[in-house]
Amino acid sequence: MTRAELLQTIASDEGLSQLLEVARATLDDDPGHNLDHALRVALWTVRLGGEAVDPGEGIAAALLHDLVNLPKNAPDRHLASELSAAAALPHLTAAGFDESALGRIHDAIRDHSFSRGAVPTADLGRALQDADRLEALGAIGLFRNISTGALMGSQYFDSADPWAERRALDDKAYSLDHVFVKLLHLPATMTTEAGRVEATRRARVLIATIDALAEELGVPVGPHELVDPLR
């Protein structure tokens, strides 16, 4: 499925069109969690789900997965996906999804977030979680990481020790540290084979950026243990 085909699928389905409008009205202008993010997640949920996931359910879950978006540094951040799942139910009911589909979509939204720490076993849940995690990698992941760091007041990196060779990693203070603390670990958490392949490709984009930064700073990365496994 392409983005154009995704939009056509939504436009031709009254229920999905309703959910698109819900997402448009609810999601804020945080570029990491806006409507464009939801549509990219929808596209990859359908791609990763394949024949095992109903496309309508995949699109619906993706459109509503961030209805409640709590800041990354909020103490109750781990509750965001659970709150989003609960908020999604009345909209899904109004869009015409039956009880069985409601359960699948609710559970997928509830368990998708990294901060919740859940590992979905259902096909829809696995596809949605992998699709959402892909957004943290590659070129888009780089943009999201920097913009999220800016919202949190983080610096790009520690200029005195960018590779954390003489200090502990601190991804609240430095956006670059978040690449090592979390992002380069994501390929290993993917639960679909296609998700692992795409996540590894996107992780290499981040590694190429790290190499470019090292060249520009004149500070070699060295044998950083969190980078080496993906080279």
pTM: 0.89
Rounded to an integer, what distance in angstroms lies between the CA atom of residue 2 and that of residue 140? 17
Rounded to an integer, what distance in angstroms lies between the CA atom of residue 209 and that of residue 26? 33
H or E element: which one contains 93?
Answer: helix 80-94
Q: Set out the domains of the chain in order of their start, with CATH numbers.
A: 3-132 (1.10.3210.10), 138-230 (1.10.3210.50)
CA dihedral 150, 80, 128, 105 (to 10 degrees): -150
| Residue ranges in the chain whose pLDDT is less than 70 | 70-78, 222-231
What pLDDT is attached to residue 76?
Answer: 60
What pLDDT is attached to residue 69?
Answer: 77
What pLDDT is attached to residue 137?
Answer: 97
Distances from the Cα of 15 to the Cα of 1, 3, 59, angstroms: 19, 19, 11
What pLDDT is attached to residue 33?
Answer: 86
What pLDDT is attached to residue 32?
Answer: 84
Rounded to an integer, what distance in angstroms lies between the CA atom of residue 157 and that of residue 154? 8
What pLDDT is attached to residue 119?
Answer: 86
Q: Name every residue whose Cβ is closer than 8 Å to that of residue 198 and which is 6 or more positions away in sequence.
A: 44, 134
Cβ atoms of 145 and 186 closer than 8 Å: no
User: pLDDT by residue (tens digit) across 42-58?
Assistant: 999 999 999 999 999 99
